[in-house]
Structure 1
């Protein structure tokens, strides 16, 4: 099969190389997917830079989510049969023509959803569900603040929160991105470059949950605008991982500060999460309420260009590789 390896260096042109590798085989409890599309995510860039290695036992090939057809079924792989259209959450191996995955980590592709769109869902939907709805405990009628709202995670979070009956405040960089976030369903969409974020958010009434992909630069803002009993969930630190926090104010407002990663979770925990997503969030996908926009598609040969597009930060939605 054709696959993309990380061969050395840090720039995408020198680090990402298209190679031929043996086709993987589905073992017990696994399925093999003929990959048609693979989502490109920021952890892929971190892996290329040497900052986010694959967990033990995972493929060294980058790629955390794919969509395609089941073409091999291992013993005890449950409900899947050859030809099923699926998308799946991977610990690695997505940038390839074939990927083997724990059968419990796959989801059926709903009718009416093409495989390009489906490949943009598993990692993002699972991340949002685990952090906004489980750790953040967002409920109908509450308000979610999303920083980095036009990223792949951000656009998915907007749609999932709205589907659950919550209000959404979005921050993003630039007028065009702010307009895009509003069009996707944000009740209040702010330009982080020009708007007075704190004043606007407080005028809206504050927030119950923060989904923070920015990190240090927004720590004081988050603490200021969270309501009592608010939940602050950190999933990325693009502006830095170290911040000064007023712990006394955190205590007085009884705020919960937490964070998580997804890739390194045990297989059984991922299976539990996938089952919860299928039960609660997948009906939103099937109903068309969650359809993160695909900003651009690239072939496997163009993986370096896909990384450059993601790193530039100008995209709105997801970037996808086709295999």
Structure 2
């Protein structure tokens, strides 16, 4: 039996005017699917790139955005028994989280432990999980290293900063100047991205042992230039430079190929990786749960930059590059009336 829901729909690719809140039917979940009542959806650069039609291998429009969510199990589809109605879960949904209800594969749902705040839960599922994998599994950041993070005040960038700091690294990076004072108080050494002073400054102190760069394109070339001469690791992800600068849309694929091709240079001490998370990866659930544990232990806390309502989603897209503050951006879909 189908149900009428609200959802945010990208009618065609383009600017914020292509996003609207509509009413539509959602069918009952099919075999191996669970229907989840969404409480919060995350909002990230992936959603912006999908709206523009530049996200790798994305669906065609019309589509509903929302890369991750926290919610309560509403209805189990045939053959589903892992969760019961009312159970609190998170999911890397990729699509469809900006809606009252979402039908999701049961195998991708992860239980939320008792005592974990809803906003923290959804922030950990995408933003902090991405950072955790980059810092601990990919770059293996350790005590005493120098790391450089682009976008220290962004959702993934700030998470990367705090996890590197937790591992004992000295953290440098770029951020809007309005956030520099707050970042210094937290222990980072921030630079303005646009004037490129950070390139000379990092090389003057011996370079970075790890650089985390979500900007892509030409920025990956600049980031490679500040790696420590004895060997460093450039971790590229995202590819958000063009979107943030409001330029013409272009594919990140050639930049990724160029980034990875640097590993083919003989005798080069530096390494490059293009990092992404996949919900069917053997690492995914374990790393989400590791983030949950760090929150519950009081070792990390995701700052929330902004919480929008579903009706405000078009405005969230319009003002994406203008939102001040540090941390994750969330969409509140509904109150948790069963809590």
TM-score bracket relative to the smaller structure: 0.7 to 0.9
Deviation at 1:75, TM superposition (A): 5.0
CA distance in 2 between counterparts of 1:55 and 1:193 reads 30
Q: Is the partner of 2:132 in helix, strand or coil? A: helix
- Please list, as runs of the form range in 1=range in 2, the aligned pairs for 1:36-51 lying within 5 A after superposition: 36-51=39-54
- Please list, as runs of the form range in 1=range in 2, the aligned pairs for 1:151-162 lying within 5 A after superposition: 151-162=154-165
The equivalent residue for 2:249 is none
Aligned match for 1:307, one of 314, 317, 322:
317
Does residue 292 of structure 2 align to residue 282 of structure 1?
A: yes
Contact 1:150–1:180 (Cα < 8 Å) also in 2: no
CA distance in 2 between counterparts of 1:158 and 1:111 reads 27
Aligned match for 2:283, one of 252, 273, 276:
273
Q: Is the partner of 1:146 in helix, strand or coil? A: strand
The equivalent residue for 2:271 is 256
In angstroms, what is the RMSD of aligned CA positions? 3.2
CA distance in 2 between counterparts of 1:93 and 1:61 reads 5
CA distance in 2 between counterparts of 1:18 and 1:2 reads 7
- Please list, as runs of the form range in 1=range in 2, the aligned pairs for 1:99-248 lying within 5 A after superposition: 99-174=102-177, 176-183=178-185, 185-193=186-194, 196-202=197-203, 204-227=205-228, 228-239=230-241
CA distance in 2 between counterparts of 1:297 and 1:68 reads 16
Divergent runs of 4+, >6 A: 56-59, 242-246
Contact 1:9–1:15 (Cα < 8 Å) also in 2: yes
CA distance in 1 between counterparts of 2:288 and 2:141 reads 18
Deviation at 1:63, TM superposition (A): 0.6
CA distance in 1 between counterparts of 2:203 and 2:215 reads 19
Deviation at 1:274, TM superposition (A): 2.3
Instruction: Provide structure 1 residue ranges, at least 5 long, that are not aligned to the other structure.
Output: none
Deviation at 1:187, TM superposition (A): 3.5
Post-superposition Cα deviations, 1:257-313, rounded to whole Å, max 9, x if no partner, equal: 121444xx4x532xx232231453332122233322111111111111111232336
Q: Is the partner of 1:229 in helix, strand or coil? A: coil
Deviation at 1:8, TM superposition (A): 2.9
CA distance in 1 between counterparts of 2:199 and 2:287 reads 33
Instruction: Provide structure 2 residue ranges, at least 5 long, that are not aligned to the other structure.
Output: 243-251, 334-339
- Please list, as runs of the form range in 1=range in 2, the aligned pairs for 1:89-108 lying within 5 A after superposition: 89-108=92-111
TM-score (norm 2): 0.80
TM-score (norm 1): 0.83
Aligned residues between the structures: 315
